[in-house]
Amino acid sequence: MQTKIQIRLTPAEAADKNCILRAISVSTGQNQSSITGYQILKKSIDARSRQQIWINLSLIGFINEPVSQRSLEPITFNKLPANAKEIIIVGAGPAGLFAALECIELGLRPIIIERGKDVRARRRDLAKLNKEGIVNPESNYCFGEGGAGTYSDGKLYTRSNKRGNIDKILRLFYHFGADENILYEAHPHIGTNKLPHIITAMRQQIENCGGKVLFEKKLVDFIIEKDTIKEIITADGDILKVNAIVLATGHSARDIFTLLYNKNIYIEAKPFALGVRVEHPQSIIDSIQYHCNIKDPYLPPASYSLVEQIQDRGVFSFCMCPGGIIAPAATAPGEIVVNGWSPSKRDNPYANSGMVVEIDINNAAHYLKKTKTALTEKHPLLLLAFQQAIENNAFKFGGGLQKAPASRLIDFCSNKLSTHLPEASYLPGLEIAPLDQVLPSFVHRTLQEGFKAFGKKMKGYYTNDAIVVATESRTSSPVRIPRNEQTLHHPQIKNLYPCGEGAGYAGGIVSAAMDGQRIAQQIASL
């Protein structure tokens, strides 16, 4: 017999198989000896009470019968026939990879071209970036196999549950090597230490089925006849014929946005968010969220999510990374961009989060007028230019190479220059700097008020033991590449399919993956 039940346990009990079996026995009225095992369906933490933190489990208990494997729809990939229609996919991030896998399931042959390197070769460039501050414009935290998602926290939750099949995305990650717990955790994540192996397995599957993944293959031009892309040209001079092209280049491929603009392919400026990374000792966040001085060893490092309206402008936390590090995410020399990630165990001593402010066209236009940048409010690259200007300015205050400008949190909010900084996770190093000169004044002021408000919501958050690091600017794409709502192709170019985060249709690994699948399904339906 199988029975579905919900139980609530302490963290220590939830980590003990015998305690779970005992709880099933109590809940069902069956002798514990008759309970052969269980399968967890959902797991979440309830930390609302100051007296006791609970683990909520939804599970299936097996009584007097063998425990069966988790019921999952099988995932199979067949070898493509020799005459399979070829689909060009530009970019090997989550959108591109999942579009390719979906193409194979639907009998289409994906040809992925990726400007960066494979995961293994990419690591060497990241080491140079972290240790020497040298940015390779084609191989960095944003460009290369797996895209920006490869070296992210690997968060696998999204609010975009109407855009596609989230369960299928999770099952695919599990199929390619992710831990089973992503199938039932309330906020699943993989960890940047595990993602490279999973991404490699995806690529090998694509190749084994007859698809292609071409690295160091940068798109530089389109050959267009009337309303159709006939060929594309890569930086090494190759010319590839095009049936359909999926543009999944990510939010940092500025050269692609420029290429589209120069080809008179319609694009538009898209509001995004910009701000800083704030880093606390993880112990502070744990004590706040778990209402204790020392975290229960059976609890994971605590996270948080914060949002506030400051004079009708939103300020909010973004991509919070418990037990993580701040990483250099620049894609060109002369700019400072910071991001965050966590390993699977989230066992680093720091907690970091983006803390960002909403930016619109008027904000960007006003700021750029002061810099004498000749772009009007109607220019589609206006917000991109604004983003780039802030990153360049951060570099000037960063002390050279990839050292990032920083301040203690209370000093930041008090317009005080810090005298020294605590230990931090950012490997290239930090430079004490007046962040009111690094950031636009409206961003700086909004962040100041936001941090003070967050300190009232989370007692202990507002502290000089925390540091503020500029600049967190790649929250989403500053450009939208429009597409038809039904056909999903560009309104001008009938075989061009803008896809994922770079086109403005996703905001993370899962939503990008679902968008890639959706595009592949649409192409296959033609």
SS3 54: strand
Structure token digits, residue 26: 């109590």
- In the prediction, which pLDDT does 165 show? 86
Q: Residue 159: what residue type?
A: R
Structure token digits, residue 57: 């489990």
Q: Residue 163: pLDDT above 80?
A: no
CATH numeric code, 86-268+478-524: 3.50.50.60
- In the prediction, which pLDDT does 72 show? 85
- In the prediction, which pLDDT does 164 show? 78
- Pairwise pLDDT comparison (192 vs 454), residue with the higher score: 454
Phi and psi at 69, nearest 5°, equal: -65, 155
Choose among 499, 478, 500: nearest CA to 490. Answer: 499
The CA distance from 188 to 184, in Å, is 8
Give the mean model confidence (pLDDT) for residues 433-449.
97
| Residue pLDDT, tens place only, 450-496 | 999 999 999 999 999 999 999 999 999 999 999 999 999 999 999 99
| Residue pLDDT, tens place only, 303-336 | 999 999 999 899 999 999 999 999 999 999 999 9
**Domain boundary assignment for the chain:** 2-63, 86-268+478-524, 271-472
Q: How many Cα neighbours within 13 Å face the side chain of 43?
A: 18
Q: Which parts of 304-440 fold into alpha helices (H)? A: 361-370, 382-397, 409-413, 435-438
Q: Which of 55-59, 152-156, 191-195, 298-302 has the lowest mean pLDDT?
A: 152-156
| Residue pLDDT, tens place only, 231-246 | 999 999 999 999 999 9
| Residue pLDDT, tens place only, 410-440 | 999 999 999 999 999 999 999 999 999 999 9
Choose among 128, 504, 92, 93: nearest CA to 330. Answer: 128
Where does the pLDDT of residue 121 fall: very low under 50, low under 70, confident under 90, or very high at 90 and above?
A: very high
Give, in order, the Cα–Cα distances in Å from 381 to each of 272, 368, 412, 477: 13, 12, 31, 11
Average pLDDT of the chain is 95
Do 2-63 and 86-268+478-524 agree at the fold level?
A: no
Residue 194, judged by CB atoms within 10 A of its CB (0-12, 13-18, 19+), counts as middle
Is the CATH number of domain 2-63 3.40.1010? no
- In the prediction, which pLDDT does 113 show? 98
- In the prediction, which pLDDT does 199 show? 95
pLDDT above 70 as % of the chain: 99
Cβ atoms of 80 and 103 within 8 Å: the answer is no
- In the prediction, which pLDDT does 161 show? 63
Give the mean model confidence (pLDDT) for residues 122-137.
95
Give, in order, the Cα–Cα distances in Å from 390 to each of 263, 299, 378, 394: 27, 39, 20, 6
- In the prediction, which pLDDT does 162 show? 64
pLDDT above 90 as % of the chain: 88
The CA distance from 333 to 330, in Å, is 7
The CA distance from 146 to 215, in Å, is 11
Where does the pLDDT of residue 265 fall: very low under 50, low under 70, confident under 90, or very high at 90 and above?
A: very high
Tell me the residue length of the chain: 526
Structure token digits, residue 103: 């193409």
- Pairwise pLDDT comparison (263 vs 68), residue with the higher score: 263
Matching residue, tokens 């931090």 = 424
Give the mean model confidence (pLDDT) for residues 376-402.
95
| Residue pLDDT, tens place only, 504-517 | 999 889 999 999 99
Choose among 432, 439, 404: nearest CA to 416. Answer: 432
| Residue pLDDT, tens place only, 139-149 | 999 999 999 88
